[in-house]
C-alpha cells in the first residue's frame, strides 16, 4: 500500500513538472489600466504648481507612454519622472489661472509585453471653480483610411482653417474610439475652433506634408453660452493617393474576340491603364485622380494592325476613392444591353 502511494506521488510530481505554457511563461494579453490619477477627473481649484501622477496596473513601456501623453492647452515642456508603475509629469511653468486642462494618454500606450491600453485616458481638471462646459462631438468617416484610434486635433480659428500642422501645437486633442466617434470636452466658450483628423503615416511624430494626411472639418466651430455643445461635427478623410474606380460593361454579340478598355491620361499620354477580356462582360479599372480619355476596341489578331472597331467615351475627371459606374461600350447594333441594376 505504501509502495503504491509512493508511486502515485511520483507520478503526480512528474506531471506537475511538465510546463503548461510555452517556454518563457504564458503570453500576456491583458491590457494595462490606469488605477489612479492625481488630480482625479473633474477636479476643480487645482493649485497652479500641481503635477500630474498616474499609477498603472503593471510596468509600462515608458517610451510609448511618453509619446502618447499630452496635456492641453500645453502649459510648457513636460518632464517625466518614473518610480516603478507610477509616473509623475511636471513642467517648467505654473498652470494658468481659471483654466480647464485636459491630460490625455493615447490608447496606443503599451505595457512591457507590448499590450496596448486599448482605450484612451482623459483627465480633466481646472484651476478655476468649474470645468469649461464646451464640447465638440462627431464621427470620422473614411473609405480606405483607418477610423479607429485616429488623433483629433482642435486649433484656435485665429490660425486659419488649415493651420501649420508641422509647427503649430493643437490646443486640444483626443482620439476616435472603436466606432470612429470622438468627443473634445472641457473647451472654453466664446471661442472658435477648427477640427482635424491627423494621419501620421510615416510614424515620425510630426506631420510631413509629403507623406502624411490631415482631414479638416470644412468650417469653424464656435462655442457660445447659447451653444456650448457642437454635435455632428463629422470629418471625412480621403487618401489623395488612393485610386478611383471606373467600371462598366462591354456589350458585344461576338463572344470569341478579345476586347480592350483603356484610360489614357489627358495630361500625359504615355500613362495608360487598361484591361483586356475575352468576349463581352464587366470590367474594372483603377486609376489615379486626373483626367482620362476612355476608349474600348476589339483587339486584332495580327500584331501591328490598328483596331478597326473603336468605341470612345469623352474625358472623365476622376477623384481619389470615387467610383464611376456604368461606363459602357457597345459593339454592334444587335446587342441588347441588360437593364441597369
Task: Specify whether the CB–CB gap between 74 and 169 falls below 8 A.
Answer: yes
What is the structure's pLDDT at 314?
85
Q: What are 160's strand-pairing partners? A: none
Could you say which architecture CATH assigns to the domain 244-331?
A: Sandwich (2.60)
What is the structure's pLDDT at 93?
87
- pLDDT tens, residue by residue, 58-96: 999 999 999 999 999 989 889 999 999 999 999 888 999
Smallest CA-to-CA distance from 321 within 218, 210, 239 is with 239
Distance of CA 317 to the CA centre of its chain: 27
Task: Specify whether the CB–CB gap between 223 and 134 falls below 8 A.
Answer: yes
Q: Do domains 31-130 and 244-331 have the same CATH topology?
A: yes
The pLDDT of residue 8 is above 70 = no
CATH of domain 132-239: 2.60.40.10
Q: Is the dihedral of CA 200, 205, 211, 216 positive or negative?
A: positive
What is the structure's pLDDT at 341?
45
Arithmetic mean of pLDDT, 235-241: 96
Confidence band of 136 (pLDDT split at 50, 70, 90) = very high
Question: What are the boundaries of each domain within the chain?
Answer: 31-130, 132-239, 244-331
Q: What are 258's strand-pairing partners? A: 278
The pLDDT of residue 34 is above 90 = yes
Distance of CA 185 to the CA centre of its chain: 20
Distance of CA 254 to the CA centre of its chain: 47
Arithmetic mean of pLDDT, 152-164: 96
List all residues 6 or more positions away from 27 whose beta carbon is below 8 Å from its beta carbon.
21, 113
Q: Exposed, middle or buried by CB within 10 Å (0-12, 13-18, 19+), for 53?
A: middle
Confidence band of 308 (pLDDT split at 50, 70, 90) = low
Q: Which of 74-83, 160-169, 243-252, 308-317 has the lowest mean pLDDT?
A: 308-317
Strand pairing class (69-72; 100-105): antiparallel
Confidence band of 23 (pLDDT split at 50, 70, 90) = low
- pLDDT tens, residue by residue, 260-290: 999 999 999 899 999 999 999 999 999 999 9
- Distance CA(297)–CA(237), nearest Å, equals 37
Confidence band of 235 (pLDDT split at 50, 70, 90) = very high
- pLDDT tens, residue by residue, 319-337: 999 999 999 999 876 444 4
Say whether 28 sits in a helix, a strand or coil: coil
- Distance CA(277)–CA(261), nearest Å, equals 9
- Distance CA(220)–CA(74), nearest Å, equals 21
- Distance CA(156)–CA(177), nearest Å, equals 24
On average, the pLDDT of the chain sits at 88
Residue 134, preceding peptide bond in cis (omega within 30° of 0):
no
Q: What are 221's strand-pairing partners? A: 193
Task: Specify whether the CB–CB gap between 28 and 59 falls below 8 A.
Answer: no
0.75 cut: is pTM over it?
Answer: yes
Task: Specify whether the CB–CB gap between 128 and 45 falls below 8 A.
Answer: yes
Q: Exposed, middle or buried by CB within 10 Å (0-12, 13-18, 19+), for 77?
A: exposed
Q: Which of 22-26, 185-189, 205-209, 224-228 has the lowest mean pLDDT?
A: 22-26
Q: Exposed, middle or buried by CB within 10 Å (0-12, 13-18, 19+), for 43?
A: middle
Say whether 305 sits in a helix, a strand or coil: coil
One of 3.30.70.1880, 2.60.40.3710, 2.40.50.140, 3.60.20.10 is the CATH number of 31-130, namely: 2.60.40.3710
Amino acid at each position: 500500500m505504501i509502495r503504491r502511494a509512493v508511486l502515485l506521488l511520483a507520478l503526480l510530481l512528474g506531471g506537475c513538472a511538465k510546463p503548461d505554457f510555452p517556454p518563457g511563461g504564458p503570453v500576456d494579453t491583458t491590457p494595462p489600466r490606469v488605477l489612479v490619477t492625481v488630480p482625479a477627473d473633474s477636479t476643480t481649484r487645482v493649485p497652479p504648481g500641481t503635477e500630474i501622477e498616474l499609477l498603472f496596473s503593471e510596468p509600462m513601456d515608458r517610451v510609448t507612454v511618453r509619446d502618447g501623453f499630452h496635456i492641453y492647452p500645453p502649459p510648457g515642456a513636460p518632464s517625466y519622472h518614473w518610480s516603478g508603475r507610477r509616473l509623475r509629469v511636471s513642467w517648467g511653468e505654473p498652470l494658468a489661472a481659471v483654466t480647464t486642462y485636459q491630460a490625455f494618454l493615447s490608447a496606443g500606450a503599451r505595457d512591457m509585453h507590448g499590450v496596448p491600453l486599448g482605450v484612451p485616458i482623459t483627465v480633466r481638471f481646472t484651476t478655476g471653480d468649474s470645468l469649461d462646459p464646451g464640447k465638440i462631438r462627431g464621427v470620422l468617416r473614411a473609405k480606405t483610411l483607418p477610423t479607429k484610434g485616429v488623433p483629433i486635433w482642435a486649433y484656435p480659428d485665429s490660425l486659419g482653417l488649415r493651420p501649420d500642422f508641422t509647427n503649430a501645437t493643437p490646443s486640444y486633442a483626443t482620439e476616435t474610439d472603436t466606432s470612429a466617434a470622438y468627443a473634445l470636452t472641457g473647451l472654453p466658450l466664446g471661442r472658435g475652433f477648427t477640427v482635424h483628423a491627423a494621419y501620421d503615416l510615416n510614424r515620425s511624430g510630426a506631420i510631413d506634408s509629403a507623406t502624411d494626411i490631415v482631414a479638416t472639418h470644412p468650417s469653424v466651430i464656435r462655442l457660445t453660452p447659447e451653444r456650448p455643445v457642437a454635435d455632428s461635427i463629422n470629418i471625412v478623410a480621403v487618401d489623395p493617393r488612393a485610386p478611383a474606380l471606373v467600371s462598366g460593361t462591354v456589350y458585344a454579340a461576338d463572344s470569341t474576340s478579345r476586347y480592350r478598355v483603356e484610360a489614357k491620361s489627358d495630361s500625359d499620354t504615355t500613362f495608360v491603364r487598361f484591361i483586356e477580356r475575352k468576349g463581352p462582360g464587366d470590367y474594372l479599372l483603377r486609376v489615379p485622380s486626373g483626367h482620362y480619355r476612355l476608349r474600348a476596341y476589339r483587339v486584332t489578331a495580327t500584331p501591328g494592325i490598328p483596331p478597326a472597331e473603336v468605341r470612345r467615351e469623352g474625358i472623365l475627371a476622376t477623384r481619389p476613392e470615387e467610383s464611376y459606374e456604368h461606363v459602357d461600350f457597345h459593339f454592334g447594333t444587335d446587342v441588347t444591353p441588360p437593364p441597369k441594376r
